[in-house]
Amino acid sequence: MSEVSLPSVPFSPTGSVSDAQGPASHVETRAQEPLPHRGVTPLPLKTAALRSVVHVALPNAGKARLSPWFDIVAKGAIVLGLTGAFGVAMARNQNPFLVEAPRFDLASPVNLFWQISGVIGFAYFFFTIVFALRYRAVSAPAEASLPKITVVVPAYNEGAMVRVSLLSALENRYPADRLEILAIDDGSTDDTWDHIQAVARAFPGRVTPVKQPKNGGKREALRTGFERATGEYIVTVDSDSQLEPDALRNIVAPMVADERVAAVAGKVLVLNRYENLFTRFLSARFFVTFDLLRAAQSRFGAVLCTPGALSAYRTSGVRAVLQDWATQTFLGAPCTIGEDRALNTWLLRQGHRAVYQANAIVRTIMPTDFKRITRMMTRWERGNIREDFVMLPVLATSWRREDRFWPTFEILLELMQYPAGYVAAALSLGHFWQQPGDLARFAVSLGVGALIQSLYALRSERSTDFVYGVGYAFWAFFGLQWISPYSFLTLRDGRWMTR
């Protein structure tokens, strides 16, 4: 694609639309600068417009990059802490991998609880690893076989970042005559609509801008896109995300290859992963919670959540459940969050298959402070709990003809983890109150388990950043445990919270 400029909406260095008197050549001037990295790992960008807009959407780029020394110290601290805890436990001449050795005393409810939960947890962990290691992505079809697709990009107060999403879709290696892009402004109150219009003007006929009369929420914006879509498949992309060049042709490959597949989850990476320690933790964790888990679920055609950052759907399947999904309620309240998992749930309930496509990659912006991260996780958890309950009545019916056992087990296990987690927390607090020295052994057990899981990230990325998965495990255990019970108790709260 040739280099283009977007002169109709000049940029200001702060990332907002500048005044009419601003320099019209701003885009071209900024385009000549090398692309910086401020905790951001952007893709090579072909057009001057896209290279420039990354500067604008992330205005502090290059100013807050972690130094190599910080990286070394952080990794060293995690490894030394793990080794130290192991040494302390061994010095006491005790088994470092068990908080309390099982006595197989079935008369003791405490021992019985630990034995049963331990066996179930180990089995789930073991088979998840086995299934994930057997996963293989579907190869993209030949260009002549690529279908017409509609890319829907919903945006609300996204500012210049929406250009990154739209331009990365336009630059994808997908036939232009089979690519429809709908940019939905969901009643933004900032300059998002100006940025959408600027891209539409720069690429006549390639991008269709749609402005909602008022903010109705992401589900309503997606509904508008689904109703307008003319492609055989619909791809949803978040407005704060950047696609890799082959993401679109890869994301539709499983549906082209298998007519039973109606939903495909893309691989989500953190765009601003190097911004601070929190984003490093999240990036490492994504390989486990998203990559590992979805690879295992894909073995049975039952990926439970298709992420908003990048997912694809068979249009006919979406249209069949569109009204039910768009008007969904739970406990008497409209469902305004968790729209991605909810749509996938409706498709699974209809007997369709949902799979993972690891070669369809998108990078998305993550929150960088504790408050916004916990709000995001609370929103996700509320959606997950709600959809597990929604699936519960279906599990005993013929919701699918094959590959039923593992998805059913996984959903039941997800629901069981809440009461089991509360019991485990109470038992653990009581035990550590009486035996505080066992905290060292517990820390080793937690660290070793997290390290084993994080090795999957090493397999996927070949980077020593996998050790941040260990750091995340400790952070999550001591700082994020409250999110699940709080989300359970506030299921009817449909606020987005991070906008």
Based on the fold, state whether residues 438 and 298 are members of the same structural domain.
yes
Whether the pLDDT of residue 174 is over 60: the answer is: yes
What's the distance, CA 356 to chain centroid? 12
Q: Which element (helix H / strand E) includes 201?
A: helix 192-202
Percent of the chain with pLDDT over 70: 77
Based on the fold, state whether residues 15 and 108 are members of the same structural domain.
no
Based on the fold, state whether residues 56 and 95 are members of the same structural domain.
no
Whether the pLDDT of residue 118 is over 50: the answer is: yes
Whether the pLDDT of residue 31 is over 80: the answer is: no
Q: How far apart (Å, rounded) are the C-alpha atoms in residues 169 and 52?
A: 16
Based on the fold, state whether residues 60 and 80 are members of the same structural domain.
no
Give strand ranges (E) for 189-298. 207-211, 233-237, 241-243, 261-270
Lowest mean pLDDT segment, chosen from 157-171, 321-335, 469-483? 469-483
- pLDDT for 74 equals 61
Based on the fold, state whether residues 58 and 169 are members of the same structural domain.
no
Whether the pLDDT of residue 360 is over 70: the answer is: yes
DSSP 282-319: HHHHHIIIIIIHHHHHHTTTB-S---TTEEEEEHHHHH
Q: Using an 8 Å Cβ cutoff, are 187 and 212 in contact? A: yes
Work out the average pLDDT over 284-296: 89
Question: What is the torsional sign of CA 343, 219, 237, 379?
Answer: negative
- pLDDT for 85 equals 53
Q: How many CA atoms lie within 13 A of 343 on its CB side?
A: 32
- pLDDT for 244 equals 97
Whether the pLDDT of residue 396 is over 80: the answer is: no
Whether the pLDDT of residue 159 is over 60: the answer is: yes
Based on the fold, state whether residues 43 and 78 are members of the same structural domain.
no
Lowest mean pLDDT segment, chosen from 38-52, 190-204, 410-424, 426-440? 38-52
Would you place residue 101 in the very low, low, confident or very high pLDDT band (cuts 50, 70, 90)? Answer: very low
Residue 99 is given by DSSP the state: S
- pLDDT for 50 equals 53
Based on the fold, state whether residues 29 and 150 are members of the same structural domain.
no
Whether the pLDDT of residue 134 is over 70: the answer is: yes
Based on the fold, state whether residues 255 and 361 are members of the same structural domain.
yes
More confident: 88 or 31: 88
Based on the fold, state whether residues 179 and 44 are members of the same structural domain.
no
Based on the fold, state whether residues 101 and 22 are members of the same structural domain.
no
Last residue of a domain, one of 49, 65, 81: 65
DSSP 440-466: HHHHHHHHHHHHHHHHHHHHHH--GGG
Last residue of a domain, one of 40, 65, 90: 65
Last residue of a domain, one of 65, 85, 115: 65
More confident: 32 or 349: 349
- pLDDT for 418 equals 74
Domains identified in the chain, total number = 2
- pLDDT for 78 equals 58
Based on the fold, state whether residues 253 and 336 are members of the same structural domain.
yes
Q: Using an 8 Å Cβ cutoff, are 165 and 240 in contact? A: yes
**What is the domain-level CATH number for residue 301?**
3.90.550.10
Would you place residue 17 in the very low, low, confident or very high pLDDT band (cuts 50, 70, 90)? Answer: very low
The single residue listed with the structure tokens 């205005």 is: 59
Based on the fold, state whether residues 30 and 155 are members of the same structural domain.
no
22 to 25, 26, 52, 195, 427: CA distances (angstroms): 9, 8, 16, 16, 64
- pLDDT for 26 equals 30
Provide the residue range defining the domain that includes 12.
Answer: 1-65
Q: Tell me the three state secondary structure of residue 330.
A: strand
- pLDDT for 436 equals 82
Whether the pLDDT of residue 137 is over 70: the answer is: yes
